[in-house]
Chain A
């Protein structure tokens, strides 16, 4: 793994806007100014396939909230922006799991955050990041980006390429401690290390594999051959683990999962994972269950 050198140019305020990928798109804050959308599709219909048992919750891909803003097409596993479902507020400290597609050259203009651990995982294309701590960087497939928003940070994220969509996961965790000093980091991971293996990409520890955050959480990614099976042992048995299928089909315990399905499990020390298709990919997020 190789840590990237960030280009620090001291771009702030208006200067930062002008330097962004698409000047026309950054005049306004695209997040705050998102138009109210009508609730569409199945957002608020009961999920008849959900198996809410004593210690599991299943979120099928097509029961997620969906908002298509044109330049941004987003699926929300948990309530976010105009999508509100009181049964889908969070899984432990995991508050946001957005599956975003951003048009070429478009993106999220400069906007603020505080008191949240924000993790971005690009799946396709390149995202250009700029923030109020003078970080300017590009993240691409295989990278992971983390921001501890703490007392307050402003940032923008743009699709670096004009001619290609960018797809990425936007994940927010409630912080372990409020009002920490804001921090940005990103890391290029060796994607080969996750072939038939659970590659750790995030932890609470600065000297451990992957990026670190202000929360007792561990993330792993795996890419498996068909019929490959592996056990994930939780670092802390009081935590829960939320599995999100990035590609293909997998089983976790007795649950058959397909692409973009999510399954949360708690009150367990380990989970058994099996790939039901070739090159199945999964993201595991182990998180504290209490906020």
Chain B
């Protein structure tokens, strides 16, 4: 049976950077990403799809970030929300792999 891909919602304010991040993630065999520049779009997407990770890119103001984090956590307490640093370059895959491995460790720990 085919393993489902890790579904990632990327929120960012910089169009070109958002496109770059989406392109990099979607090149991976195991990950798939959708993006939103506006908070309402992001929340609407979150309501229609099951995501494993929300990746917050640069440019999101503190207040908006707090609202997004709270909203996503309320809708899905299991959701992993990570801050992406660096803008789509060398840290992206590290951040996703690290978050997924921490989630696995925490699941094992809870067992």
Contact = CB atoms under 8 A, between A and B. Distances in A.
Interface stretch (A18-26, A38-46, A81-89, A198-206): A81-89
A149 B14 CA distance: 12
A116 interface: yes
Contacts of A154: 16
Interface of A: 29, 31-32, 79-82, 84, 86, 89, 95-96, 111-116, 149-154, 172, 174, 178-179
A95 B83 CA distance: 14
18 contacts: A32-B88, A81-B90, A84-B93, A84-B97, A86-B98, A86-B101, A95-B91, A111-B89, A112-B16, A113-B86, A114-B59, A115-B58, A149-B58, A152-B14, A174-B85, A178-B58, A179-B60, A179-B61
- Secondary structure at the A interface, as helix, strand, loop or mixed, is loop
Given A150-B58, A178-B58, A179-B61, A115 B86 contact: yes
Contacts of A116: 85-87
Interface of B: 13-14, 16-17, 20, 23-24, 57-61, 83, 85-91, 93-94, 97-98, 101
Nearest to B20: A112
Contacts of B89: 31-32, 111-113
B91 A80 contact: yes
A271 to B, nearest CB: 28
Contact of B59 (A79, A86, A111, A151): A151
A35 to B, nearest CB: 11
A151 B13 contact: yes
Contacts of B20: 29, 32, 111-112
